[in-house]
Amino acid sequence: MRHSWILLVLSAAACVAADRPGTAPIEHQPHAGVPAGFAIRHPVDGAEMVWVPAGWFRMGMDKDTAVRQAAQLGYADYHEIAGEESFPERLVHVQGFYIDRCEVTFARWKRFVDAMSWKPTTIPPSWVGPELKSEEAELPIASVTWQAAQEYANWAGKQLPSEAMWEKSARGTDGRWYPWGNELPNRELGVISMTDALPGPQPVGSCPKGASPYGCLDMAGNVYEWTSDWKEPYPNNPEVTGEWGHRWAALRGGSFYHTRHSYRTVKRFGFPADVTYFHVGMRTAWYPPDDFDHQAHAAK
Ligand SMILES: [Ca+2]
């Protein structure tokens, strides 16, 4: 009996030690051998998805980083870029998952609509009817409400990424400010607006130089992307201001329509879940089943 207790205590101690940031937590990891960025075709919606391995990453930012990011963008005060909404920086652990390499396109959205015996509760006003114009096929779907985005994800057997999943997909594990590094955005890196001239949405994946560490494209710009989370203060945020709570769903990544500070990987944005605009789209994430054959679904 005494021996059993010693084993139990040792085992518990090992669990605690291994669950600290920077170490591998003891957990069920059926996909541990899948390399970062491994690409598959999703079996339902056919989207190319890339693998983000399980592990810790730096999420959010601290005040010093906010000051430096504001300065890089030409602002004297980090409150002008809502830097405090991303406080504090901390290590967050996520399970391994796949995420769409690109935003959901008109072509994929049409597959969803065609496959449904009922129609989504909302259909983007930009939807043109039963026939998809060829020039629209690879544009990102836009004017999508949070509910409609959830409906697409449910149909595909996937989900919207949480803010943590989205942020890790965009910045990897080195705390970078933008998907490509710390260099300021430009039109080679993303479909962005750094001036008053708006580029309008572009076909997804048109800025390969702006790829994230896992190969995700358009995570800065093109269309804003819904996450599965409500926009609420992060735990231990020392500057909780404004109105928070279950009022806004969180969006990430900025859009062709947004201001120059919206393209940072830590930037959070929110809209009421039943509201949308012409620059709001989505991408999906997916936890594959334990017996998923990654190689059999590898993207060609
Ligand atoms: Ca985007």
Query: pLDDT, tens digit, for every residue of 143-178?
Result: 899 999 999 999 999 999 999 999 999 999 999 999
Return the minimum-mean-pLDDT range out of 96-105, 215-224, 255-264.
255-264
Query: pLDDT, tens digit, for every residue of 78-96?
Result: 999 999 999 999 999 999 9
Please tell me the distance between residue 91's alpha carbon and the centre of ligand 1 in angstroms: 24
Query: pLDDT, tens digit, for every residue of 25-71?
Result: 556 788 989 999 999 999 999 999 999 999 999 999 999 999 999 99
Please tell me the distance between residue 229's alpha carbon and the centre of ligand 1 in angstroms: 17
The pLDDT of residue 120? 66
Helix (H, G, I), strand (E, B) or coil at 92: strand
If one compares 239 and 122, the residue with the highest pLDDT of the two is: 239
Please tell me the distance between residue 101's alpha carbon and the centre of ligand 1 in angstroms: 11
Please tell me the distance between residue 36's alpha carbon and the centre of ligand 1 in angstroms: 21
Please tell me the distance between residue 206's alpha carbon and the centre of ligand 1 in angstroms: 11
CATH class (in words) of the domain with range 4-10+36-292: alpha beta
The pLDDT of residue 258? 79
Q: Which of 171, 166, 118 is nearest to 281 (CA)?
A: 166
Q: DSSP letter at 105?
A: B
Q: In this structure, are residues 160 and 147 in contact, taking their beta carbons and an 8 Å threshold?
A: no
Please tell me the distance between residue 65's alpha carbon and the centre of ligand 1 in angstroms: 23
Q: Is the pLDDT of residue 121 over 70?
A: no
Please tell me the distance between residue 61's alpha carbon and the centre of ligand 1 in angstroms: 21
Please tell me the distance between residue 181's alpha carbon and the centre of ligand 1 in angstroms: 16
Where are the chain's structural domains? 4-10+36-292
266's tokens: 């830590």
Q: Which of 232, 92, 95, 114 is nearest to 167 (CA)?
A: 92
Model confidence band, residue 200 (pLDDT cutoffs 50, 70, 90): confident
Please tell me the distance between residue 18's alpha carbon and the centre of ligand 1 in angstroms: 35
Return the minimum-mean-pLDDT range out of 103-112, 192-201, 233-242.
192-201
Please tell me the distance between residue 280's alpha carbon and the centre of ligand 1 in angstroms: 9
